[in-house]
Amino acid sequence: MLTMDWSNILSLFGAMLILAAVPSLSVLTVSSKSASGGFIHGFFATLGVVLGDIIFILIALWGLAFLQGAMGDFFVVLKYISGIYLIWLGINTLRAKVNNQNLTKVDAKSLSSSFSAGLLITLADQKAVIFYLGFLPTFVDVNNIAYLDTVVIILTAILTVGGMKLFYAFLAHRSGLLISRKNKRLINYLAGTLMISVGVFLLTSS
């Protein structure tokens, strides 16, 4: 049974879409593979990135449910730590310098190497699971998490993260360049503001 309502699902979709658009190492990896090896390599790198995000989402959702039951009141401390972390991450995103650089050429011999690159880049980012630990409880009640909620969240990640990374792959394949400095600043502003808002919500919610 689905416990999330449509407003939560749509809010989660919009938030994840904005965050997926933030220029990052995974974006650079996908774009580089696409620019040097063709769009198909960008596609397989995207598959790796999405798989990495799904793994982190599963850890965050079911890990949170376990932690809340096992840790009791101490779980509140984790919530505050996550809120502070998100605010800090948002401020850093707002202050981040924007570079408009050409993509570096990379070795794109096989589709499996492109897939592995996307997956390993995502899994190597340890702060991603901490981010999801603080981010997802804003949209779903981990006390009453249902399997269908998990499916909906994973599908949302596939559509937003996968869709945005494929968009970058397409741009890189066509032009060999990342997006403009102006657009990067706008994306960073939206993402930073969103992360700060979620962090404040965690710190002030009961």
Confirm if 132 and 56 have CB atoms less than 8 A apart: yes
- Report the C-alpha gap between 179 and 195 in whole angstroms: 22
Which conformational region is residue 181 in: left (phi greater than 0), alpha (psi within -120 to 50 degrees), or beta? alpha
SS3 196: helix
Can you give the length of the chain in residues? Answer: 206
What pLDDT sits at residue 102?
Answer: 46
- Report the C-alpha gap between 167 and 95 in whole angstroms: 25
DSSP 143: G
pLDDT tens digit at each of 206 positions of the chain: 778 888 888 988 988 888 888 777 788 778 877 877 788 988 998 999 999 899 888 888 877 656 555 555 555 666 677 678 768 767 876 776 655 544 444 444 578 878 887 888 787 665 676 677 777 877 887 777 788 888 999 999 999 999 999 998 888 887 755 555 666 676 667 667 766 776 787 677 65
User: pLDDT digits over 85-99, tens only?
Assistant: 768 767 876 776 655
Confirm if 172 and 23 have CB atoms less than 8 A apart: no
